[in-house]
Amino acid sequence: MTSDITSPPVETRPSLVGKHRVPDRPRTPSRTSRNPLRRLAGGLGTALLSLGTLLFVLPFLFTVVTSLRTAADVARSPLGIPHSLTLKNFSDAFSQIHYGPSTLNTLFITSVSCVAITVIGSLAAYPLARITQHWSTAVYRLFILGTSVPVFVVVAPLYLLMRDLNLLDTYTGVVLIYIALNLPVAVFFYTSFIRSVPADLEEAAALDGCGAFRTFFTIILPLLRPVTSTLLTFVSLQIWNDLLVPLVFLQDPDKRTVMVNAYSFIDPHTVQPTTLFPAALLGVVPLLLIFVFFQRQVVAGMSAGAVKS
Amino acid sequence: MFHRRRATMAAFLLPAIVVYGVFMLYPLARGVYLSMTDSLGGPIANFVGTQQYRAMADDPAVTDALWHTVLYAAVVVVVQNGLGLLFASMLFRRPKVRKVLNVVLLTPTLISPVMAAFIWSYLFAPTGGINALLDLVGLHGLNHVWLGDTSTALYSVAAVNIWMFTGYSCAIFLASYMSMPTELLEAAALDGASGWRRFVSIEWPLLAPALTVNVTLSLIGSLKVFEFPLVLTNGGPAGATDTLTLLVYRNVFGGGKFAYGVALSVVLLVTVVVLSSATSSLLRLRERRI
């Protein structure tokens, strides 16, 4: 999603409620007919569907296979059966895009931004969800406005601002930009989530003499875990995969991220697929590994959008 | 006691307001101001009113880019959501393969646009994957210089965008499918409604909120597309894939026309806000009518 997509999926249903729902009802209407013709049609449909899906991963599989072949082998027949496999392409790409240091840079920027967005966003969402007054509605609207502002609109003035603040070429500058860009999504996610949680518990805590701070940390924060994992999936993808912000704000080669290095060192129009593909895969691997591990949360997070209560 | 509590709570907003205000709202306001100056990015800037905007009207590069951006968005929104819906409705009917295929479809979504563009720049190359595949199945006549021809370049770039995010659209539609009341679907099955009929009269209306989300997200995402045209074609051939974002980037950082680039970014903002809010309010209205 280019990056897409800085606009958040619509209201996330609190999984508090979801957890206590009746376990797995049959989710697909039962087939009333066992007619063989129908079954044949159904089988055909499944085959077509699998074929269609295969078409979507084919470029990816092709990338992996080609990365493992020698340049001469690929030149002879781009789609042919590989004669010998090699890891040399990967080690070449590894050094060409300065993979080790640039991955560490990307990881650092992504994780610091993610932590800050979660903390600042959830803190801000609490009063926005619980105080119902004109000013708080106005502040909330101001944040939501940010979900449809493309980075391009602020990139030039931001550049001047960063220059004046002496924050060009610093991680601080880049992280601050990412926080500002992603706060709208975080505020939106957390506010709509907290609003869907009844306030009884907090009121009881207040009567017991619990201050706002303690109420937030002991009652609200633990509740936010499911929505946080959704948000983090979304935000970390945005930041890890982003090209523009590090391209503009980090000129020092030692500070550059994977995407910038790949973009500036590799010209797709003159370069062999055996150089191009390993570079592309290396840029994706760390995230892909993390997401294979958290596969269920990722899919749930990405599709949380449509389920509107 | 409650009064003090509320004041503390309001203080929670401070960090967010400071960061958001300084690094988002202030640049936004300053951008609008800069677009009405002759700034070159340095300290000297004279107020020139609407001069930059008037210059755009005489600049064919701008009108072309605006057209490309809108056309690109239209193609992506229609095809990506159409395919996503098709996959979702087929997957919903096949619970056995549903989970696996859904995850498989989502893999391209995890790749960064830069990396996706890398992969596809080779697939689209004259001797690359797609032409080789066409040769392999005997359709040599369809061979084409996909990114080098002004009539196919924009659509080829759009295809990469569609490839990447169809899984995302599908996942949102599928989530909506999964939240449909089972009783309704069962009743329809008992009444003998099947296939197309069931889709049109039951599923389609129930999918309305998901459609709103999907269309709005893909519209905003494709209007501000940057990495795909940048890496795949850099606006070429002959400006056929120049989008507003590419023009903004080139003018602001390419030297000489800073304020013009900033004014273009304001045009981009207006385009995104107007089109996305119009679309989403139209779709919301439709939701209520169904």
Which chain B positions have a beta carbon within 8 Å of A60's beta carbon?
Answer: 107-108, 111, 119
Choose, out of B114, B244, B271, the residue to mutate when testing the contact with A (most A CBs < 10 Å): B114
What is the average pLDDT across A157-165? Answer: 94
| Residue A207 pLDDT | 84
Q: What is the share, in percent, of chain A residues with pLDDT greater than 90?
A: 29
> Is A241 within 8 Å of B112 when comparing Cβ atoms?
yes
Per DSSP, the residues of B30-67 read: HHHHHTTB---SSS---B-TTHHHHHHHT-HHHHHHHH
Residue range B187-207, pLDDT digits in tens: 887 887 777 888 888 899 999
pLDDT band at A304 (very low <50, low <70, confident <90, very high): low
Which chain A positions have a beta carbon within 8 Å of B221's beta carbon?
Answer: 1-5, 7
pLDDT band at A205 (very low <50, low <70, confident <90, very high): confident
Residue range B92-129, pLDDT digits in tens: 988 888 888 988 898 888 888 998 998 898 889 887 77
| Residue A19 pLDDT | 39
> How many helices, marked H, and strands, marked E, lie in chain A?
16, 0
> Is A3 within 8 Å of B227 when comparing Cβ atoms?
yes
Q: How buried is residue A141: exposed, middle or buried, by Cβ count under 10 Å (0-12/13-18/19+)?
A: exposed
| Residue A17 pLDDT | 37
Judged against a pLDDT cut of 60, whether residue B67 lies above it is answered with: yes
| Residue B166 pLDDT | 95
**Average pLDDT taken over every residue of chain A:** 81
Residue range A277-295, pLDDT digits in tens: 888 888 888 887 877 777 7
Residue range A9-47, pLDDT digits in tens: 443 343 333 334 444 445 555 444 557 777 787 788 888
Residue in chain B closest to A274 (alpha carbons) equals B122
* Token pair recorded at residue B276: 């996305």
Judged against a pLDDT cut of 70, whether residue A53 lies above it is answered with: yes
Q: What element of type H or E holds A163?
A: helix A151-164
| Closest CB to A79 among B28, B133, B258 | B133
What is the average pLDDT across A39-59? Answer: 86
What's the ipTM? 0.89
Looking at per-residue confidence, does A78 or A95 come out higher? A95
Which of residues 136 through 165 in chain A touch B, CB cutoff 8 A?
Answer: 136, 139, 142-143, 146, 148-161
Judged against a pLDDT cut of 60, whether residue B138 lies above it is answered with: yes
> Is B30 within 8 Å of A280 when comparing Cβ atoms?
no
The whole-model pTM stands at 0.86
Instruction: Give the residue carrying structure tokens 């004279």.
Output: B46
* Token pair recorded at residue B44: 């000297």
Which chain B positions have a beta carbon within 8 Å of A288's beta carbon?
Answer: 110
| Closest CB to B175 among A248, A263, A307 | A307
Instruction: Give the residue carrying structure tokens 């840029």.
Output: A283
| Residue A20 pLDDT | 41
Residue range B257-274, pLDDT digits in tens: 899 999 999 999 999 999
> Is B221 within 8 Å of A277 when comparing Cβ atoms?
no
Give the phi and the psi of residue B37 in degrees, each rounded to 5: -120, 180
Distance between A79 CA and the closest CA of chain B, angstroms: 7
Which chain A positions have a beta carbon within 8 Å of B92's beta carbon?
Answer: 28
Contacts 24+ apart (CB under 8 A), A218-221: A220/A122, A220/A126, A220/A194, A221/A122
**How many residues in chain A?**
309
Which chain B positions have a beta carbon within 8 Å of A212's beta carbon?
Answer: 5-6, 8-9, 12
Task: State how far the Cα of B7 lies from the Cα of B3, in Å rounded to an integer.
Answer: 6
Q: Which of A123-137, A189-203, B26-40, B225-239 has the lowest mean pLDDT?
A: A189-203
- Count CB pairs under 8 A between chains A and B: 336
Residue in chain A closest to B7 (alpha carbons) equals A212
| Residue B24 pLDDT | 95
Which chain B positions have a beta carbon within 8 Å of A5's beta carbon?
Answer: 168, 217, 220-221
Instruction: Give the residue carrying structure tokens 């989710």.
Output: A27
Residue range A237-280, pLDDT digits in tens: 889 999 999 999 998 889 999 999 888 888 877 778 888 888 88
C-alpha distances (whole Å) from B234 to each of A152, A305, B239 are 16, 33, 9
| Residue A23 pLDDT | 44
Task: State how far the Cα of A102 lies from the Cα of A259, in Å rounded to an integer.
Answer: 9
Judged against a pLDDT cut of 90, whether residue B82 lies above it is answered with: yes
| Residue B229 pLDDT | 95
Which chain B positions have a beta carbon within 8 Å of A264's beta carbon?
Answer: none
| Residue A15 pLDDT | 38
| Residue A42 pLDDT | 77
Give the phi and the psi of residue A87 in degrees, each rounded to 5: -105, 5
Choose, out of A22, A152, A251, the residue to mutate when testing the contact with B (most B CBs < 10 Å): A152
What is the average pLDDT across B162-172? Answer: 93
Judged against a pLDDT cut of 60, whether residue A306 lies above it is answered with: no
> Is A247 in CB contact (< 8 Å) with chain B?
no
